[in-house]
Amino acid sequence: MPTAIHIEVLPARLGDCLLVECPRPSGAPWRMLVDGGPGDTWPVLEERLRHLGRSDRHVDVAVITHIDSDHIGGMLPFLSSDLAAGVGDFWFNGRTHLPGHGPGTERSVAQGESVVTALLGPAGDPLSAGATKPGDAVLPWNEAFGRGPVDTGAAGGFVEVAVPDGPTITLLSPTTARLARLADAWASALREARRERVREVEPDVLAPLDDLRRIADQRTPKDASVPNGSSIALLVEHRGASVVLGADASGDVLAAALHGLARSRGTETVAVDAFKLPHHGSRANVTAALVAAAPAAHYLVSTNGDTFHHPDDAALARVVVGAPPGPTLCFNYRTPRTERWADPGLTERHRYRVAFPDPGRADAGFVLDLPARP
């Protein structure tokens, strides 16, 4: 059966860097890059993109989901490279797109910065010399959204973008209210995101996975990070296949948008083939309500557990006990924390599977092909 959606969860240490392709009947595939991981992911991403044929290095959409160092670190050198010129559209909420930016603003790209200067600053924008006047966007920026903000409006809202001869992309996050919160914290959030701090890491304590129901029911605080709450999260559907790309979005926001989408389609849930869990499998973002809103056949986790020891046991337990029987947990790193979930007694008792990167291609991360369906 032909592939409808090809997903590569590249090894980005504690961050996200995903490459998504949708084959088309003729010509090159439609291609989306989602984030660039921390700074040391750039060599991996660059090698992957340059491995493409010189005539096929296009990226139709490059998504910078939010300003956090483990998502934008590798995007900074990407924006300064020649590869950025091959991007059809950048989706990213810069300062100029935030509610309340300037008196009477239209929140458009023409309001004083390019996607490059938004992240690098004017001194780091080698492409700005091509602008015809100050503020021109040398690289295409939010063109699919009329150069305005990438947001869903109110809670429970969603926005669909249909690609001719390609996938349908549904925006699930952020809401306008979440962007408004970011407006108040933009300067400090961007300053923090531009520097990758070396944090003191405590040893990872691995608790027994003896009672998944109890672990899943643990009460956990919600993710209070303002940048995470502004994450661009998407549903990609093509030729009968589907994947949710959760970025670091709030579980509540994602669940509300998925319920809104389900109601519009006359269904109770939005069943999908794959779900890239938000915030690297954090218990603060992966809620039982979110798992119920979009039951999936595959759950993708992007992290090696650096610093924050993700994925959290409570998050994965909510997936295992809350998803329909038979899901597959897909990890882009095999670590002591993730390997515990492959215990045969655990997988047999709870009827799920576990998948890791191909040992011979661990540097490629986890690769998943979703077949086309009528």
CATH number reported for the structural domain that contains residue 220 in this entry: 3.60.15.10
Distance CA 80, CA 33 (A): 16
Distance CA 255, CA 259 (A): 6
State what percent of residues in the chain have pLDDT above 70. 91
Domain span holding position 335:
3-371
| pLDDT score of 27 | 84
- Residue 275 pairs in a beta bridge with 244, 299
Contact call for residues 92 and 36 (beta carbons, < 8 A): no
Is the model more confident about 80 or about 257? 257
Residue 109 has pLDDT above 60, yes or no: no
Distance CA 223, CA 191 (A): 20
Distance CA 326, CA 176 (A): 36
| pLDDT score of 102 | 41
Region 277-289: mean pLDDT is: 98
- Stated pTM of the model: 0.93
Helices (H), the chain: 42-50, 69-72, 75-80, 115-120, 176-194, 212-216, 226-229, 251-264, 288-293, 313-322, 336-339, 344-350
Total domains, the chain: 1
Is the model more confident about 53 or about 69? 69
The band of 104, judged by pLDDT with boundaries at 50, 70 and 90, is very low
Range name among 36-45, 129-138, 197-206 with the lowest pLDDT average: 129-138
Count CB atoms within 10 A of the CB of residue 335. Answer: 16
Region 274-302: mean pLDDT is: 98
The amino acid at residue 221 is P
Determine the 3-state secondary structure of 86 from DSSP.
helix
| pLDDT score of 26 | 81
Which phi and psi (to 5°) does residue 96 adopt? -70, -15
Region 251-279: mean pLDDT is: 98
| pLDDT score of 119 | 73
Region 120-137: mean pLDDT is: 44
Residue 101 has pLDDT above 70, yes or no: no
Region 132-141: mean pLDDT is: 58
| pLDDT score of 126 | 40
The amino acid at residue 124 is G
